[in-house]
Amino acid sequence: MGPLATPDPEQIRWNEKYRREGLESFGIKPSSLLVEHENLLCLQPCGPALDVAAGNGRNALYLARLGFDVQALDISDVAVAWLAEHARRRRLNVYARWANLQIERPSEHQYEVVVNINYLERGILPALEASLRPGGLLFFQTMTTDQVDLLGERMPRRFLLAPNELRDSFPNLKTLEYQESIVTASVSGTKKAMASLLARKPGPRGCDPVRPAGPMRAP
Ligand SMILES: C[S@@+](CC[C@H](N)C(=O)[O-])C[C@H]1O[C@@H](n2cnc3c(N)ncnc32)[C@H](O)[C@@H]1O
């Protein structure tokens, strides 16, 4: 599916934001949730990974450097074009594609790793779980209602996780780590109330890893 002839309001909003502020201004440093678990990621069989609502693709690019073939989905065609070009120039396996995740669902049993960071679309949660291969890892992190209740930011509550909502959203996955805390965002330096989940889909792991020794780094 490609961008619609009549763009979605979210697509317009994010395109305008990315055009105004530039994709680099959001920082290309990957999420600490991924970096802190690099050892675990390196033990995962190489294969397809999914980054939903990828934005500038900081997390998709990181996974590609570790050797994954990454599908990066986003509703902003401005972000998708930027990421595709950025990955192409660095010869990284990131396939950036336009998608409206309010409508589109990822296919089942596809991915070794699924990443959902700084985005909340409740309707997609069962499909994220189903899209993992047995043994696959889910990395999920986004803001909680404490952003409003404790930190006083004015924003719609529908974009925020309720207490323990994330913990209870993937009943068929095995939780490896879960926390709710106030953190300082690395790029903006502002405080964020975040819930983070690292979970694994039970079942036999895939075929043997064909990973080169050590994480691959971009030149
Ligand atoms: C806060 S950014 C997060 C980007 C990235 N995950 C990160 O952590 O750097 C949210 C992203 O969600 C995308 N988005 C918003 N609504 C979407 C939708 N319905 N389908 C796909 N992407 C969407 C926006 O274009 C934006 O790039």
| Residue 115 forms part of a structural domain | yes
Range of the domain at 175: 9-20+29-200
Give, in order, the Cα–Cα distances in Å from 167 to each of 111, 159, 175, 199, 209.
Answer: 21, 16, 8, 10, 29
Q: How many domains does the chain have?
A: 1
pLDDT category of residue 27 using cuts at 50, 70 and 90: confident
Query: What's the mean pLDDT when you consider all of the chain?
Result: 92
| Residue 218 forms part of a structural domain | no
**Ramachandran sector of residue 57 (left: φ over 0; alpha: ψ -120 to 50; beta: rest):** left
pLDDT category of residue 1 using cuts at 50, 70 and 90: low
pLDDT on residue 127: 98
| Residue 216 forms part of a structural domain | no
| Residue 208 forms part of a structural domain | no
pLDDT category of residue 198 using cuts at 50, 70 and 90: very high
- Give me 5's structure tokens: 């002839």
For a mutational test of ligand 1's pocket, the pick from 8, 14, 58, i.e. the residue with the most ligand atoms closer than 8 A to its C-beta, is 14
Q: Average pLDDT in the 205-213 region? A: 54
Helix (H, G, I), strand (E, B) or coil at 157: helix
Rounded to the nearest angstrom, the distance between the alpha carbon of 79 and the centre of ligand 1 is 9
pLDDT digit string (tens) for 110-121? 999 999 999 999
pLDDT on residue 211: 54
Residue type, 107: S
Rounded to the nearest angstrom, the distance between the alpha carbon of 21 and the centre of ligand 1 is 15
pLDDT category of residue 165 using cuts at 50, 70 and 90: very high
| Residue 209 forms part of a structural domain | no
pLDDT on residue 203: 87
* Per-position DSSP letters for 67-95, written without gaps between them: T-EEEEEES-HHHHHHHHHHHHHTT--EE
3-state secondary structure 19-70: HHHCCHHHCCCCCHHHHCCHHHHHHCCCCEEEEECCCCCHHHHHHHHCCCEE
| Residue 51 forms part of a structural domain | yes
pLDDT category of residue 4 using cuts at 50, 70 and 90: low
Here the CATH number for the domain that contains residue 66 is: 3.40.50.150
Question: Quick one: CA dihedral 159, 164, 166, 170, positive or negative?
Answer: negative
Look at strands 132-143 and 191-200 and give their pairing. antiparallel
pLDDT surpassing 80 at residue 208: no
Residue type, 84: A
Nearest CA to ligand 1 atom 9: 55
Nearest CA to ligand 1 atom 4: 55
| Residue 108 forms part of a structural domain | yes
**What ligand 1 atom has the least distance to the C-alpha of 100?**
20
Q: Which residues does a 6 A CB cutoff place in the pocket of ligand 1? A: 10, 14, 53-55, 58, 74-76, 79, 99-102, 117-119
Rounded to the nearest angstrom, the distance between the alpha carbon of 56 and the centre of ligand 1 is 9
pLDDT surpassing 50 at residue 217: no
Q: Average pLDDT in the 171-189 region? A: 92
pLDDT surpassing 80 at residue 2: no
* Largest Cα span, the chain: 48
**What ligand 1 atom has the least distance to the C-alpha of 104?**
20
| Residue 3 forms part of a structural domain | no
Residue 113: which of 74, 93, 83, 139 has the closest Cα? 139
